[in-house]
Protein backbone atom coordinates (compact mmCIF):
# COMPACT_ATOMS: atom_id res chain seq x y z
CA UNK A 1 0.00 0.00 0.00
CA UNK A 2 1.37 3.38 -0.95
CA UNK A 3 1.17 6.61 1.00
CA UNK A 4 -1.04 8.15 -1.69
CA UNK A 5 -3.47 5.21 -1.41
CA UNK A 6 -3.57 5.69 2.36
CA UNK A 7 -4.25 9.41 1.96
CA UNK A 8 -7.12 8.55 -0.38
CA UNK A 9 -8.55 6.16 2.23
CA UNK A 10 -8.36 8.87 4.88
CA UNK A 11 -10.17 11.29 2.59
CA UNK A 12 -12.89 8.72 1.88
CA UNK A 13 -13.35 8.14 5.62
CA UNK A 14 -13.55 11.87 6.24
CA UNK A 15 -16.07 12.30 3.41
CA UNK A 16 -18.22 9.50 4.83
CA UNK A 17 -18.26 11.07 8.28
CA UNK A 18 -19.20 14.45 6.82
CA UNK A 19 -21.98 12.87 4.77
CA UNK A 20 -23.42 11.07 7.80
CA UNK A 21 -23.39 14.29 9.81
CA UNK A 22 -25.16 16.01 6.92
CA UNK A 23 -27.98 13.47 6.49
CA UNK A 24 -28.43 12.18 10.03
CA UNK A 25 -29.94 14.43 12.67
CA UNK A 26 -29.18 12.13 15.60
CA UNK A 27 -25.94 13.48 17.04
CA UNK A 28 -25.24 10.40 19.18
CA UNK A 29 -25.37 8.11 16.13
CA UNK A 30 -23.19 10.50 14.13
CA UNK A 31 -20.57 10.62 16.88
CA UNK A 32 -20.63 6.84 17.21
CA UNK A 33 -20.13 6.48 13.45
CA UNK A 34 -17.23 8.96 13.54
CA UNK A 35 -15.62 7.11 16.44
CA UNK A 36 -15.93 3.77 14.65
CA UNK A 37 -14.38 5.16 11.46
CA UNK A 38 -11.51 6.67 13.46
CA UNK A 39 -10.99 3.33 15.24
CA UNK A 40 -10.73 1.50 11.92
CA UNK A 41 -8.43 4.10 10.37
CA UNK A 42 -6.02 4.45 13.33
CA UNK A 43 -3.70 1.54 12.41
CA UNK A 44 -3.47 2.90 8.88
CA UNK A 45 -2.62 6.37 10.18
CA UNK A 46 0.25 4.81 12.13
CA UNK A 47 1.38 3.00 8.98
CA UNK A 48 1.22 6.31 7.08
CA UNK A 49 3.31 8.07 9.74
CA UNK A 50 5.92 5.29 9.52
CA UNK A 51 5.98 5.61 5.75
CA UNK A 52 6.47 9.38 6.05
CA UNK A 53 9.35 8.90 8.49
CA UNK A 54 11.01 6.42 6.15
CA UNK A 55 10.39 8.77 3.24
CA UNK A 56 12.18 11.57 5.05
CA UNK A 57 15.15 9.31 5.55
CA UNK A 58 15.10 8.26 1.91
CA UNK A 59 15.09 11.89 0.78
CA UNK A 60 18.39 12.35 2.60
CA UNK A 61 19.96 9.29 0.96
CA UNK A 62 21.01 10.98 -2.31
CA UNK A 63 23.01 13.53 -0.36
CA UNK A 64 24.99 10.82 1.40
CA UNK A 65 25.49 8.80 -1.75
CA UNK A 66 26.63 11.85 -3.73
CA UNK A 67 28.95 13.00 -0.96
CA UNK A 68 30.55 9.56 -0.81
CA UNK A 69 31.42 9.64 -4.54
CA UNK A 70 34.53 11.65 -5.30
CA UNK A 71 34.34 14.28 -8.07
CA UNK A 72 37.05 12.48 -10.02
CA UNK A 73 35.01 9.28 -9.92
CA UNK A 74 31.98 11.15 -11.28
CA UNK A 75 34.06 12.56 -14.15
CA UNK A 76 35.50 9.16 -14.99
CA UNK A 77 32.02 7.68 -15.45
CA UNK A 78 30.88 7.27 -19.06
CA UNK A 79 28.78 10.24 -20.19
CA UNK A 80 25.69 8.07 -20.74
CA UNK A 81 25.95 7.04 -17.07
CA UNK A 82 25.63 10.70 -16.04
CA UNK A 83 22.44 11.03 -18.08
CA UNK A 84 20.84 7.99 -16.45
CA UNK A 85 22.08 8.73 -12.95
CA UNK A 86 19.33 8.58 -10.34
CA UNK A 87 20.34 9.67 -6.85
CA UNK A 88 19.87 6.94 -4.32
CA UNK A 89 19.97 4.13 -6.87
CA UNK A 90 23.34 2.50 -7.30
CA UNK A 91 23.84 0.93 -10.70
Inter-helix orientation angle 27-68/3-23, to 10°: 160
Q: What pLDDT does residue 14 have?
A: 95
How far is Cα 56 from Cα 35, in angstroms, rounded to an integer?
Answer: 30
Find, among 79, 80, 14, the residue nearest to 44 by Cα.
14
Q: Is the overall model pTM greater than 0.75, yes or no?
A: no
Q: What pLDDT does residue 72 have?
A: 53
> Is-contact 30 50, C-beta < 8 A?
no
| 51-88 pLDDT, tens digit each | 998 886 555 555 555 445 455 554 454 444 444 444 44
Amino acid sequence: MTSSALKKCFQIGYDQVCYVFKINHFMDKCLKFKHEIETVITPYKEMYKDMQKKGEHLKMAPFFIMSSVSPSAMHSMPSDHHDNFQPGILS
